[in-house]
């Protein structure tokens, strides 16, 4: 593995993998925040009929 990273092309490949992993991490965070928001809205809607007489 050290020989691959020693070459110039190996450094570009490693950088590409790091960028890809960073993008995947950002995507997962965005999706998790959307799911959390939808769950909060769902709980609010579930409680709403109970408050009405």
**What is the mean pLDDT, run by run of 10 residues, along the chain of 53 residues?**
66 94 98 97 85 58
pLDDT value for 5: 55
Question: In the prediction, which pLDDT does 53 show?
Answer: 56
Task: Give the number of domains in the chain.
Answer: 1
Three-state DSSP at 50 gives helix
Question: pTM above the 0.85 mark?
Answer: no
Structural domain including 46 reads: 21-53
Question: What pLDDT score was predicted for residue 47?
Answer: 84
Answer whether residue 10 is part of any domain.
no
- Distance separating alpha carbons of residues 22 and 17, to the nearest angstrom: 9
Residue 9 lies in a domain: no
Q: How far is CA 7 from CA 12, 13, 21, in A?
A: 9, 10, 21
What's residue 46's pLDDT? Answer: 86
């Amino acid at each position: 593995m050290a020989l691959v990273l020693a070459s110039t092309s190996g450094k570009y490949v490693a950088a590409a993998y790091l960028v890809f992993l960073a993008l995947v991490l950002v995507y997962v965070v965005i999706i998790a925040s959307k799911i959390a928001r939808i769950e909060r809205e769902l709980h609010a809607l579930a409680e709403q009929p109970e408050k009405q007489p």
